[in-house]
């Protein structure tokens, strides 16, 4: 079974909690704080697996989580960091954020791996909070939560040549003849519902991969049928073979079919529409040499400065000439990353900065709502029931600018300040 799309949930590990501990030594009446830090939560990576060729595994397992960091302990012992999680995927897998559709990783090289989710930092033990005036702090930090996202995985075939055209124009038959692939072939529409790959060994000693993309229909670029699922596979191909039935046995007009398919390519991607394209008139064994359908199609190909070949997969007519031309053309087209990547830096997306600049204060009546991942996480990591811990929280909110922002917006005595799930009454 070929599976080229999956939606999963992945979560990095939570950081371990810092420890509250005090030295216990013989003849020492009151030892100082010695609580150790919690360990860092494990990160989530995606890694190319050379043995994988589908996304079928993700149809049965939808949730993935890295290991949590261990809690700290006394004697300043740090908790162990959680193990990173490596999720294996086939080469050609694109990882997207399910909410924003942003491309997070394009795994198109052997052995490539990409950091997708960062594990939470471990909480600080109480040994970090000792001061000249607070020599025995009875609070520590909880570990930071790991990042969590819903992700979309798309497998885009890594082929040199993509076969395009309406259903039943002879793509599967062509692939079976020129390669060792064995696609399902029958004389009805949508015989091919999954992409097929085949390898061609040319007379020049080189080889290239051809992908039989299932038949495209009108409206495919807008999601008609399985259009979008099919179209995304040809984004990575360097060369397009546009197969068009000139026999007239289906009652179709070859010129109309030529323009309709190219309109779908253009509507889907301007870049894709400009890709090198060779026109292949199929089923030539069913037409005469002076066939009007072929003549009209040949005129359109010349208008667009595209090479056209007349072939028959049954008799073999024109196949050697076509395959030779493909081999020569591919040598002039460099291999490159053909997918548009909206974000090329995982660091930009996943860097856990030490500052808290990304917060927002919104006034709703006499309630001030403070939002922002790092500020909300700070609230979760302190024990607001402990006076010293609460004092530390207020100090931290001052340092990062939350307090000054609240004052700018006119917070007054008795107003409510809400951060995450916590509500506090403001006191001047």
Say yes or no to pLDDT of 130 above 50.
yes
Give, as one character, the DSSP assignment of residue 406. Answer: H
pLDDT tens per residue across span 98-126 = 988 888 998 888 889 999 999 999 999 98
- In angstroms, rounded to a whole number, what is the distance separating the alpha carbons of residues 319 and 326? 11
Model pLDDT for residues 389-401, shown as the tens digit of each residue: 777 777 788 877 8
414 by Cβ neighbours in 10 Å (0-12 / 13-18 / 19+) ranks as: exposed
DSSP 33-49: B-PPPPPPPPPEEEEE-
pLDDT at 199 over 80: no
pLDDT per residue as tens digits for the range 326-350: 999 988 887 655 444 433 333 333 3
Is 0.75 topped by the overall pTM? no
Rounded average pLDDT over 166-193 = 62
With CA atoms as reference, report the closest residue to 227 among 198, 173, 268. 268
Examine the pLDDT at 42 and tell me if it is beyond 90: yes
pLDDT band at 364 (very low <50, low <70, confident <90, very high): confident
Which string of b and e fits 201-227 if b means at least 16 CB within 10 Å? ebeeeeebbbbbbbbbbeebbeeebbb
Mean pLDDT computed over 153-158: 77
By three-state DSSP, how is residue 279 classified? strand
pLDDT at res. 338: 47
Q: What are the structural domains of the chain?
A: 1-155 (2.70.210.12), 161-330 (3.40.50.300), 360-425 (3.30.300.350)
> In the structure encoding, which two tokens stand for residue 382, read together?
């302190």
Structure token digits, residue 41: 């939560």
């Amino acid at each position: 079974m070929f599976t080229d799309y999956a939606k999963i949930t992945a979560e990095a590990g939570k950081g371990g909690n810092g420890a509250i501990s005090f030295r216990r030594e013989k003849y020492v009446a009151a030892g100082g704080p010695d609580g150790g830090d919690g360990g860092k939560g494990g990160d989530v990576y995606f890694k190319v697996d050379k043995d994988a060729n589908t996304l079928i595994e993700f149809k049965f397992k939808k949730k993935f989580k890295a290991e949590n960091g261990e809690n700290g302990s006394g004697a300043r012992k740090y908790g162990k960091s959680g193990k990173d999680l490596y999720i294996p995927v086939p080469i050609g897998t694109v990882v997207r954020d399910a909410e924003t559709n942003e491309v997070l990783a394009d795994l198109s090289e052997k052995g490539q791996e990409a950091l997708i989710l960062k594990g939470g930092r471990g909480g600080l033990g109480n040994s970090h909070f000792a001061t000249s005036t607070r020599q025995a702090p009875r609070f520590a930090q909880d570990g930071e939560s790991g990042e969590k996202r819903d992700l979309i995985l798309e497998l885009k075939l890594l082929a040199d040549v993509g076969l395009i055209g309406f259903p039943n124009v002879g793509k599967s038959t062509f692939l079976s003849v020129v390669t060792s692939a064995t696609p399902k072939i029958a004389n009805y529409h949508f015989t091919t519902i999954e992409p097929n790959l085949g390898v061609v060994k040319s007379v020049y000693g080189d080889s290239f991969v051809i992908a039989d993309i299932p038949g495209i229909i009108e409206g495919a670029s807008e999601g008609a049928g399985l259009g979008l699922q099919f179209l995304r596979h040809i984004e990575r191909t360097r060369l397009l073979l546009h197969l068009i039935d000139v026999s007239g046995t289906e009652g179709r007009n070859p010129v109309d079919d030529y323009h309709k398919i190219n309109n779908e390519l253009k509507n889907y991607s301007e870049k894709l529409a400009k890709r090198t394209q060779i026109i292949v008139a199929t089923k030539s064994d069913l037409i005469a040499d002076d066939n009007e359908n072929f003549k009209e199609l040949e005129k359109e190909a010349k208008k667009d400065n595209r090479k056209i070949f007349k072939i028959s997969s049954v008799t073999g007519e024109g196949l050697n000439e076509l395959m030779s031309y493909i081999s020569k053309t591919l040598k002039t087209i460099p291999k490159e990353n053909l997918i548009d990547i909206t974000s090329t830096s995982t660091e930009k997306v996943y860097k856990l900065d030490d500052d808290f600049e990304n917060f927002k204060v919104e006034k709703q009546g006499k309630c001030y709502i403070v939002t922002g991942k790092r500020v909300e996480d700070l609230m979760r990591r302190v024990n607001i029931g402990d006076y010293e811990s609460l004092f530390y929280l207020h100090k931290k909110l001052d340092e990062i600018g939350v307090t000054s922002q609240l004052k700018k917006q006119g917070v007054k005595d008795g107003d409510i300040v809400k951060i995450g799930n916590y509500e506090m009454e403001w006191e001047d």
